[in-house]
Structure 1
Amino acid sequence: MELEYLNNLENLYLSNKKLSRIGVSVIDISTLESSLNVKLPKAYKEFLHIAGKRDGILGDWNRDFNDLDSTQEYAREAFQGVGLNMKPFWCFAEYNDADSSLFFFLDEGENPPVYNFVADKVIVDDNGDEVFYKKIHESFSSFIEKKINSALK
């Protein structure tokens, strides 16, 4: 896969042998998209290809490639459980059966913004109001860039 968005992530793994990663084949990514009838954004597919089975930078978030189908269901149930009717999204990492999750909307381009959802409504928006979810990065690649910088500290 030719990289467009996550060259720095690839370079991190090439230069830092302390971080382990296991990527996902292009065929497996395509199979996932077909089986779930979804078109994933290119930036996220690059992430999966580089380090989709083990990344060493996302910390304690659950994001097992083999469980991404059930992750979507957990997130859907968590969103509906608090009364959110979300447009098509993709949860790429979750915690505690998606009571907290990281996701993007599938209609926001090839390098979409990243959002954080917390079922306990402890996130505060720019107006000071408590909300269930909020944009935390302008793009998936900027989210990964921040994780790269944290991993290098």
Structure 2
Amino acid sequence: MNINYLNLMKNTPEIFGSKNRGISEQEISQFQEKYSIAFPKSYQEFLFLAGGYCNINVSSLDYDYESQNNVKNTLEKNNLKIEGGEFWVISELDGGEQFHFFYFNDPDAEDPENPPVYVSHPAYLDEGGDLKRKIANSFSEFIDNIINKLT
């Protein structure tokens, strides 16, 4: 796979002795077909580089699918809904009480293949607070920021 968005991740495969492990393009395609999902190119690159194991605490693919259910259950339990369309959870903590995500079709995306990343803390939502907040203008910026903090 040609890497266009995640060059820093490609060039930093190991952090603190922990090495990323990617998955094949075929595995990415099979997952997308199985769940009728079309991931943006930047996220496909992430999976190719670190979808089996990621050294910066962004979820691997199998765990990511579990994360989707954790987040949906937490939102339901708290009678909350993330507005804006279908989204994909890229990391979560505490059974979905905190999570990062991107939208599949984000109108704010400068490049639809490299969507913005948001954070949500539904279990800790104060009255009048925002359910989500943009934390990176693109998925690649999100990944680069984490790598730069760790290296």
Larger mean Cα displacement after TM superposition, 140-149 or 66-75: 66-75
Cα 1:17/1:81, change in 2 over 3 Å: closer
The CA distance in 2 between the partners of 1:17 and 1:131, in whole Å, is: 35
Pairwise CA distance, 1:50? 0.4
Cα 1:17/1:133, change in 2 over 3 Å: closer
SS of the counterpart of 2:47?
Answer: helix
Pairwise CA distance, 1:71? 1.6
Contact 2:54 2:60 in 1 (8 A): no
Aligned: 1:55 with 2:54: yes
Identical pairs, percent: 27
Specify the code of the residue in structure 2 equivalent to 1:105.
Answer: Y
Pairwise CA distance, 1:64? 3.5
Aligned: 1:18 with 2:17: yes
Contact 1:36 1:69 in 2 (8 A): no
Contact 2:47 2:60 in 1 (8 A): no
1:77 maps to which residue?
A: 73
2:109 maps to which residue?
A: none
Specify the code of the residue in structure 2 equivalent to 1:29.
Answer: I
Pairwise CA distance, 1:98? 0.9
The alignment's C-alpha RMSD in Å is 1.9
The CA distance in 2 between the partners of 1:90 and 1:73, in whole Å, is: 11
Pairwise CA distance, 1:85? 4.7
Give the TM-score normalised by structure 1.
Answer: 0.84
Residues matched between the structures, number: 142
Specify the code of the residue in structure 1 equivalent to 2:50.
Answer: A
Question: What is the 5 A alignment of 1:28-107?
Answer: 28-58=27-57, 63-82=59-78, 83-86=80-83, 87-107=85-105
1:20-63 superposed Cα distances (whole Å, 9 cap, x missing partner): 111111111111111111111110110111011222122xx6x2
> Where does structure 2 lack aligned partners over 5 or more consecutive residues?
107-111
Contact 1:101 1:117 in 2 (8 A): yes
SS of the counterpart of 1:130?
Answer: coil
The CA distance in 2 between the partners of 1:50 and 1:56, in whole Å, is: 11
